[in-house]
C-alpha cells in the first residue's frame, strides 16, 4: 500500500513538472478573422512556440493594447461575449526585423533593396506606400497575408510591433484536421 502511494505521488509529480514545462514553451491560439487568408482561416487552431527569436517570414501571435469590441465577436459563439473589453491578440506574418530597410510602393514590397516573392499572399498587390529606412531595435513590421483586408503595421494604430509583445511563433496548425501541418 505504501509503495502504491509513493508511485502515485511520483506519477502526479512528473505530470505536474511536464505540464509546467510544456505550458512554459508551448501555447495555442485560435484564428479569428480573414487577415491571414489564404494561409490561415477563421477557426484554425495553432500551436505556438513561446519564443522571442523571430525571423522574417515567421507567423507570430502578438499582444496589442486594442480592446475587443462587440463587433469583433460577431458570428462567434455566445460564450465569447465575455471577452469584450479584453485586449486583442493578432496573428500576422513578420515582414521585417530590426535593422531591415522596408519599402512598399506600387503594390510591391521591397526588403533591403530586393522585391519579396510572396506566393502566400491573397491577390498580387500590397496596398499603401511606405518607406522605413531602418527598423528600430527590438521592433518588427508585420502584415497579414490578405493584404486588402488586414489590420497590421501599415496602420498608424498598430505600427511597428515591440518584440516584447510577441507571444510566440505559430509552428503547427492542428485544426482543421484535414489541414494539419506546419504553419508557414
So which residues are the catalytic ones? 35, 92
Whole-angstrom distance, CA of residue 20 vs CA of residue 154: 37
Show the cell assigned to 139: 521592433
38 upstream amide cis, omega within 30 of 0: yes
Residues in Cβ contact with 64 at an 8 Å cutoff, skipping those fewer than 6 apart: 87, 88, 89, 90, 158, 165
Whole-angstrom distance, CA of residue 83 vs CA of residue 38: 26
Residues in Cβ contact with 141 at an 8 Å cutoff, skipping those fewer than 6 apart: 94, 95, 96, 97, 100, 102, 132, 135, 153, 160, 161
Amino acid at each position: 500500500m505504501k509503495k502504491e502511494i509513493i508511485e502515485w505521488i511520483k506519477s502526479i509529480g512528473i505530470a505536474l513538472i511536464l505540464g509546467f514545462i510544456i505550458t512554459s514553451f508551448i501555447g495555442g491560439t485560435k484564428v479569428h478573422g480573414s487577415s491571414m487568408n489564404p494561409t490561415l482561416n477563421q477557426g484554425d487552431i495553432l500551436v505556438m512556440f513561446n519564443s522571442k527569436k523571430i525571423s522574417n517570414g515567421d507567423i507570430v501571435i502578438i499582444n496589442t493594447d486594442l480592446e475587443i469590441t462587440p463587433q469583433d465577436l460577431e458570428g462567434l459563439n455566445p460564450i465569447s461575449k465575455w471577452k469584450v473589453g479584453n485586449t486583442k491578440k493578432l496573428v500576422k506574418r513578420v515582414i521585417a526585423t530590426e535593422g531591415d530597410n522596408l519599402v512598399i510602393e506600387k503594390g510591391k514590397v521591397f526588403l533591403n533593396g530586393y522585391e519579396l516573392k510572396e506566393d502566400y499572399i491573397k491577390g498580387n498587390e500590397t496596398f499603401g506606400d511606405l518607406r522605413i529606412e531602418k527598423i528600430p531595435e527590438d521592433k518588427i513590421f508585420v502584415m497579414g497575408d490578405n493584404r486588402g483586408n488586414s489590420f497590421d503595421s501599415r496602420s498608424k494604430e498598430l505600427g511597428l510591433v515591440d518584440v516584447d509583445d510577441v507571444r510566440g511563433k505559430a509552428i503547427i496548425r492542428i485544426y482543421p484536421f484535414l489541414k494539419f501541418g506546419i504553419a508557414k
